[in-house]
Chains A and B, each alone.
Chain A
């Protein structure tokens, strides 16, 4: 990552973030802010931005747009960088040198395109798409040479609208492989690490069709009751015949003698 024209290493980035956090905490102290300065809110989270919203969420949906970010590439490879999609629903964190050097190119252009997952191949059986898919394309600049595989895996953090069942990747948008299942308690995100670019998509379990009819029923209890009733009826109905058969045995006759 470059800061004021100078390259800053991972330690430097960490120190800067720590300083910013300490500054935010310190700034809140004199103002009588008796609660934590971060991660508090009573309002709902921002509405999920769908490429193609379900009917219940069509009103007010703001469709996400494609975005582009440039990451510097030096003799050792790419800078450490974080790339956000336009809707902030996809975060890609590239460690230092994740993209190998490619002289005389000096940077890579990362393009993130939100995609309706319905136009892509289906996830494995039992799963369905959890929000948008995102296509990530990376190309050296100025040559335009395409990159599909990174030298070091990047981390991917994807905001999803529903309960997560993992993060999935596809190079071509047809066949999917799971690349992560990291979650953050209380946050609607799923994460993973991977060293290729292509399509990323969250998965969720397919919901079985809901049963109809009145609530409060006890189907198991009814089945047990019917079976018991039938068994009792059979037992009682055939009890006299059974008794006669038992009386008819030789041992019974000898006892009667």
Chain B
């Protein structure tokens, strides 16, 4: 009898020890980014931000005492996503951060449910397909593309229009790449023009890989817009701007969005031809005002800016800050609130956790739209700002006032 008691006690003790070691086993978090190919530079920067968020989380107690471990896979193009997700699944991952590129994001979002994964988009703003289960297996921490487009039109209508043409209705045109990114942003802008009773005189989807933008500029000129909204990538955005200048399109204002108009290379390449252009996008780390953040956001931004510069010898880009802030929200707030790290457990926590704007290092907060909502899984408290090229190669945040580092300057556009 005594022998049996000893055995039972030993088994119980070891079982308890096993249980304890299980709770301290690493939480494996997947990272799916383009680390090579045409989007490799931006994807790498965003993944670096995620890496630093993992470090922050582990230095502050991990996920309920469990260390977080990042499992990274390179998906340089959309077609690589199915295999990459399967590879993460085999490594024991149930939560995946990604993906920087809208084409990659659209595929990952639609496959996440089938793979029993929870996919968290940190950077891409493009539309996702009907197979996506927003609020359950897909969440977007970055601004939704349509919201960037709407914010751009709101800015023009509320802030610029009174200064440009007092009392007169402006004529708007939209030029956009014909892919998930361009559709999401461009259609958001076009919808806002219509909703707000403005005049939409043209909507011009185009092939980003086109080599001649003169015909597109001529089409735009033919509808006589006052304001041109552009959803472009860098090369086509530069080419389209040059073409509209060459075609002497008499624009009063032009506003673009992420991946082109707000990128340093855009202003550097165009020089004076970029001055006076606006962009609706995410903020860079160097341009977030610390006084606009809550204490938690200030602490995180101060730490990550210094850490990023020390490690990578450059300032944190908008991509890197977006990756850090999104991963931070997931690791520091959502996962610790989850009863289990299955996709359903994480989704339940995601629905509960709310962070007011300014809590995250990029100025954003967290308010994920619940499953079933029209914008299910989208972050309604994501941060977005309006940039302006205030001089050759010189850009500044001009709106909203909380984040502005420079007043709005109504400058004549080159033509």
Q: Which residues of A contact B (CB under 8 A)?
A: 32-35, 40-48, 54, 56-57, 59, 131, 161-163, 185-188, 204, 207-208, 210-218, 221-222, 225-226, 228-229, 232-233, 236-237, 240
Contact = CB atoms under 8 A, between A and B. Distances in A.
A249 B81 CA distance: 69
Interface of B: 3-4, 6-7, 10-11, 14-15, 17-18, 21-22, 25-28, 36-42, 66, 76-83, 86-87, 89-90, 92-95, 101-104, 107, 110-111, 115-116, 129, 177, 179, 208-209, 233-236, 259-260, 263, 265, 268-271, 340-342, 345
B18 A222 contact: yes
Given A43-B259, A44-B38, A44-B39, A186 B340 contact: no
A233 B13 CA distance: 11
A33 B14 contact: no
Contacts of A204: 83
B14 A215 contact: no
Contacts, number: 156
Given A42-B263, A225-B14, A210 B42 contact: no
Contact of A237 (B3, B25, B263, B270): B3
Contacts of B260: 42
B6 to A, nearest CB: 5
Per DSSP, are chain A's interface residues mostly helix, strand or loop, or mixed?
Answer: loop
B14 A218 contact: no
Contacts of A233: 7, 10-11
A161 B79 contact: yes
A213 B341 CA distance: 10
Given A43-B177, A215-B28, 6 more contacts: A59-B129, A186-B36, A188-B80, A213-B116, A216-B26, A237-B7
A42 B87 CA distance: 26
A34 B41 CA distance: 17
A40 B6 contact: no
B74 to A, nearest CB: 9
A73 to B, nearest CB: 33
A41 B90 CA distance: 33
Contacts of B22: 218, 221-222
A46 B209 contact: yes
A249 B22 CA distance: 44
B14 A229 contact: yes
Which of A44, A47, A57 has the most chain B CB atoms closer than 10 A to its own CB? A44
Task: Enumerate the 4 nearest inter-chain pairs by beta-carbon distance, A residue then B residue, closest first.
Answer: A215-B94, A161-B79, A43-B233, A210-B89
A215 B227 CA distance: 49
Contacts of A43: 38-39, 177, 208-209, 233-236, 259
A207 B7 contact: no
A216 B40 contact: no
A57 B83 CA distance: 14
A226 B235 CA distance: 59
Contacts of B116: 212-213
B259 A56 contact: no
B336 to A, nearest CB: 13
A42 B18 contact: no
Contacts of B107: 56-57
Contacts of B40: 186
A212 B342 CA distance: 11
Contacts of A211: 89-90, 92
A225 B12 CA distance: 12
A207 B95 contact: no
Contacts of B11: 229, 233
B233 A215 contact: no
A171 to B, nearest CB: 28
Contact of A236 (B10, B41, B42, B342): B10
A33 B269 contact: yes
B15 A221 contact: no
